[in-house]
């Protein structure tokens, strides 16, 4: 149950009770009422099962999306769809981050109000999510009223618990990164274009400026030991392990208290500090709360997990690890809210071995890429070649290579070779397997059967490790091995001759062994297509559905449990045309670029 779905007169009694030490007059909009003296809910009500909850970062709307954003969306979507394939309820949250100095400056440059600027740019990210077939359940905007209310309530509880104080702050501030950096992480650099020197963050290379102002601080330094204890108890909190080590080292070196507000004279575009309209809440405190906003925060007692929190996995880029893996769990621990179970911090895409960045214009337009290659092809390429630990270099020629080898020459070729010939029938091969007349004798059939028996388990193991790229490569290895199996068995050659055997103990009637060998080969190849098609659904939803239709797999038989050898003997009659030439195949030749 979401607190905002209740009548206003009921919401106040559902707020978490805190020992009030801060006596300020601020009250959130949902709490401007008299609390009833008795709770309206029984303490014995049934606890609902927590759904699997996966989030993407909310994307900053100071510029249009690039292919790096598309990669993050694809990874998040694959993780969500995999859980659905496993039969679990899953929720995916994405959206846009719309407050902060960069937005304020970008709107001023465009000479339009900040909200109007955010509306336009947020829509481009929503369009991208729709285009890439992102199966999102929530699209949050930090300008949403329910989010702003949640942020102010979160601040209120932090202040009540004594974790926020006011003081003067001096330090090196980076407008581009929206954060202060310690003196030890600042260095002098030279602009290669102008030759001018400037002070920059060692971490990002972005320019910083000295700032002195009075604002509010969060007692981050008080959470060093709690964070280290949390990391120790959850050694796989950050994936990959190298970034987990970096986080532990950063916290072990000590933490400074965090400035979490900005004077309104400097930053007006954001959520106001409760009871102090002269201050705007720091964009990163504001933004991080989106993940619990859409999980129903503030929660009614007993419904804390109904919306999915704690998140099972939060997908981010490696450049925002500090915010998500240090600040975010510290904020949550301060309120006794469990941190997310895991954070997948993937590597970046580069272009010409240079990081893609909106600020430099070194980007690839994701819409243009999908227009040229197709949505599922781009999903396949990004998942297959995208880096988790190490960066990957993007290239149109690499997409073409992957397409020709894996999709056109691998999956597409296999499907055509099995479904199109008139000298055998997939349905008859499946029926023969169901009747038990296909013996798995010989090393090749046994090897093929063993591979198919173990494929789903091995792929699932990689998915549990949040390595969807490795999972996809296992699926593709099965495709390549099946093509080798088919080539070795050469059923088209067997169809030219007969190998008649007289009736005996094994076969009560005279039988053509070559026909049995053909059906055995076709069945084991068809099983590979069926199992691969099922496992590919989270990666390429549209093409996987077309593939399964081409071999006649019923929609009700496309679950993870069905992705096992001999699990389905009902398929074999195509639901859609299988085509007759290269241009009406599953993966036709790519159009020649003019």
3-class SS at 276? strand
* pLDDT (0 to 100) of residue 442: 82
* pLDDT (0 to 100) of residue 108: 93
Dist CA 548 CA 574 (whole Å): 9
Cα-Cα-Cα-Cα dihedral sign, residues 111, 112, 118, 123: negative
What does residue 542 show for φ and ψ, rounded to 5 degrees?
Answer: -75, -50
On average, the pLDDT of the chain sits at: 89
Q: How far out from the chain centre does Cα 566 lie?
A: 32
Strand bridging mode 343-346 / 313-317 = parallel
Number of C-alpha atoms within 13 angstroms, CB side, residue 220? 21
Q: Say which DSSP state 405 is in.
A: I
Tokens for 271, please give them. 């959520």
Dist CA 50 CA 302 (whole Å): 12
Quick one: what percent of the chain has pLDDT higher than 90? 75
Tokens for 357, please give them. 């960045």
Residue 270 near residue 281, CB atoms below 8 Å: yes
Q: At what angle do helices 468-489 and 67-85 cross, to 10 degrees?
A: 70
Dist CA 537 CA 559 (whole Å): 10
Q: Which residues, at least 6 apart from 468, have a Cβ–Cβ distance to it below 8 Å?
A: 75, 78, 79, 82, 383, 462, 538, 539
C-beta neighbour count of 446 within 10 angstroms:
11
Residue 9 has pLDDT above 70, yes or no: no
Which is nearest to 375 in space by CA: 386, 367, 384? 367
Domains of the chain, start order: 3-32+49-163+283-373 (3.40.50.620), 396-584 (1.10.730.10)
Dist CA 91 CA 2 (whole Å): 14
Dist CA 197 CA 72 (whole Å): 34
Dist CA 432 CA 426 (whole Å): 10
Strand order in the sheet with 209-218: 179-181, 164-174, 209-218, 258-259
* pLDDT (0 to 100) of residue 137: 98
Residue 247 near residue 323, CB atoms below 8 Å: no
Q: Where are the alpha helices (DSSP H) in 136-279?
A: 145-160, 224-233, 241-252
Q: Looking at residues 87-115, what average pLDDT do you find? A: 95
C-beta neighbour count of 111 within 10 angstroms:
7
* pLDDT (0 to 100) of residue 593: 66
- DSSP β-bridge partners for residue 345: 316
Residue 390 Cα distances to 55, 346, 352, 387, angstroms: 22, 8, 15, 5
C-beta neighbour count of 521 within 10 angstroms:
25
What is the pTM (predicted TM-score) of this model? 0.86
Residue 28 has pLDDT above 70, yes or no: no
Which is nearest to 528 in space by CA: 445, 464, 462? 445
Which is nearest to 268 in space by CA: 280, 277, 283? 280
**In this predicted model, what pLDDT tens digit does every residue of 327-376 receive, in sequence order?**
999 999 999 999 999 999 999 999 988 877 766 778 899 999 999 999 99
What does residue 83 show for φ and ψ, rounded to 5 degrees?
Answer: -65, -40
**In this predicted model, what pLDDT tens digit does every residue of 406-463 receive, in sequence order?**
999 999 999 999 999 999 999 999 999 999 888 777 889 999 999 999 999 999 999 9
Q: Which residues, at least 6 apart from 493, have a Cβ–Cβ distance to it below 8 Å?
A: none
Residue 341 near residue 312, CB atoms below 8 Å: yes
**In this predicted model, what pLDDT tens digit does every residue of 29-72 receive, in sequence order?**
555 433 333 333 333 334 568 999 999 999 999 889 999 999 99
- Region of 24 (left: φ > 0; alpha: ψ -120 to 50; beta: rest) is beta
Which is nearest to 407 in space by CA: 530, 543, 523? 543
Tokens 């019923």 belong to 554
**In this predicted model, what pLDDT tens digit does every residue of 486-528 receive, in sequence order?**
999 999 999 999 988 888 777 778 888 899 999 999 999 999 9
Tokens for 473, please give them. 């490569």
Residue 559 near residue 534, CB atoms below 8 Å: yes
Residue 147 near residue 293, CB atoms below 8 Å: yes
C-beta neighbour count of 405 within 10 angstroms:
12
Residue 79 near residue 134, CB atoms below 8 Å: no
pLDDT band at 113 (very low <50, low <70, confident <90, very high): very high
* pLDDT (0 to 100) of residue 12: 35
Helices (H) and strands (E) in the chain, counts: 21, 21
Residue 590 Cα distances to 343, 377, 585, 593, angstroms: 37, 11, 12, 9
Q: Looking at residues 541-548, what average pLDDT do you find? A: 98
pLDDT band at 199 (very low <50, low <70, confident <90, very high): confident
Residue 425 Cα distances to 384, 429, 451, 573, angstroms: 33, 6, 23, 9
* pLDDT (0 to 100) of residue 29: 56
* pLDDT (0 to 100) of residue 233: 98
């Amino acid at each position: 149950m979401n607190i905002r779905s209740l009548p206003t007169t009921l919401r106040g009694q559902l707020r978490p009770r805190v020992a009030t030490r801060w006596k300020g007059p601020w009250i959130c909009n949902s709490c401007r009422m008299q609390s009833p003296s008795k709770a309206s809910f029984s303490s014995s009500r049934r606890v609902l099962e927590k759904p699997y909850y996966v989030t993407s970062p909310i994307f900053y709307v100071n510029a249009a999306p690039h292919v790096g954003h598309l990669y993050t969306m694809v990874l998040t979507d694959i993780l969500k769809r995999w859980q659905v394939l496993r039969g679990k309820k899953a929720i995916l949250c994405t959206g846009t981050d719309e407050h902060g100095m960069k937005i304020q400056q970008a709107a001023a440059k465009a000479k339009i109000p900040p909200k109007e600027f955010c509306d336009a740019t947020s829509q481009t990210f929503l369009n991208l999510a729709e285009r890439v077939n992102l199966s999102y359940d929530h699209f949050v905007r930090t300008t949403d009223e329910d989010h702003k209310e949640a942020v102010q309530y979160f601040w209120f509880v932090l202040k009540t618990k004594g974790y926020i104080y006011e003081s003067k702050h001096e330090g090196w501030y980076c407008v581009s990164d929206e954060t202060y950096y310690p003196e030890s992480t600042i260095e002098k650099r030279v602009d290669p274009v102008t030759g001018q020197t400037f002070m920059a963050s060692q971490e990002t290379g972005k320019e910083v400026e000295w700032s002195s102002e009075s604002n509010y601080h969060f007692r981050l330094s008080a959470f060093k030991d709690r964070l280290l204890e949390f990391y120790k108890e959850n050694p796989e909190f950050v994936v990959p392990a190298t970034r987990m080590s970096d986080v532990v080292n950063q916290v072990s070196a000590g933490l400074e208290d965090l400035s979490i507000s900005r004077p309104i004279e400097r930053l007006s575009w954001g959520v106001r500090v409760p009871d102090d309209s002269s201050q705007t809440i720091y964009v990163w405190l504001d933004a991080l709360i989106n993940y619990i906003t859409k999980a129903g925060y503030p929660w009614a007692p007993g419904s804390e997990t109904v919306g999915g929190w704690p998140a099972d996995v939060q997908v981010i880029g490696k450049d925002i690890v500090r915010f998500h893996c240090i600040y975010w769990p510290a904020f949550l621990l301060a309120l006794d809210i469990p941190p997310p179970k895991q954070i997948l911090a993937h590597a970046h895409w580069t272009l010409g071995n240079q990081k893609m960045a909106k600020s430099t214009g070194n980007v690839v337009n994701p819409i243009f890429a999908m227009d040229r290659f197709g949505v599922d092809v781009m999903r396949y390429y990004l998942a297959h070649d995208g880096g988790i630990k190490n960066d990957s270099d993007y290239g149109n020629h690499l997409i073409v290579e992957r397409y020709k080898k894996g999709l056109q020459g691998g999956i597409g070729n296999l499907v055509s070779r099995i479904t199109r010939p008139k000298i055998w029938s997939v349905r008859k091969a499946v029926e023969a397997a169901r009747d038990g007349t296909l013996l798995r004798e010989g090393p090749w059939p046994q090897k093929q059967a063993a591979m198919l028996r173990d494929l789903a388990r091995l792929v699932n193991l990689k998915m549990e490790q949040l390595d969807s790229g490795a999972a996809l490569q296992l699926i593709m290895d099965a495709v390549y091995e099946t093509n080798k199996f088919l080539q070795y068995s050469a059923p088209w050659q067997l169809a030219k001759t007969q190998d008649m055997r007289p009736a005996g103990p094994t076969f009560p009637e005279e039988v053509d062994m070559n026909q049995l060998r053909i059906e055995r080969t076709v069945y084991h190849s068809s099983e590979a297509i069926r199992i691969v098609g099922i496992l590919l659904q989270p990666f390429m939803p549209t093409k996987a559905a077309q593939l399964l239709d081409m071999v006649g797999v019923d929609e009700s038989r496309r679950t993870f449990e069905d992705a096992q050898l001999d699990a389905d003997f009902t398929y074999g009659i195509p639901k859609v045309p299988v085509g007759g030439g290269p241009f009406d195949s599953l993966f036709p030749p790519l159009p020649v670029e003019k």
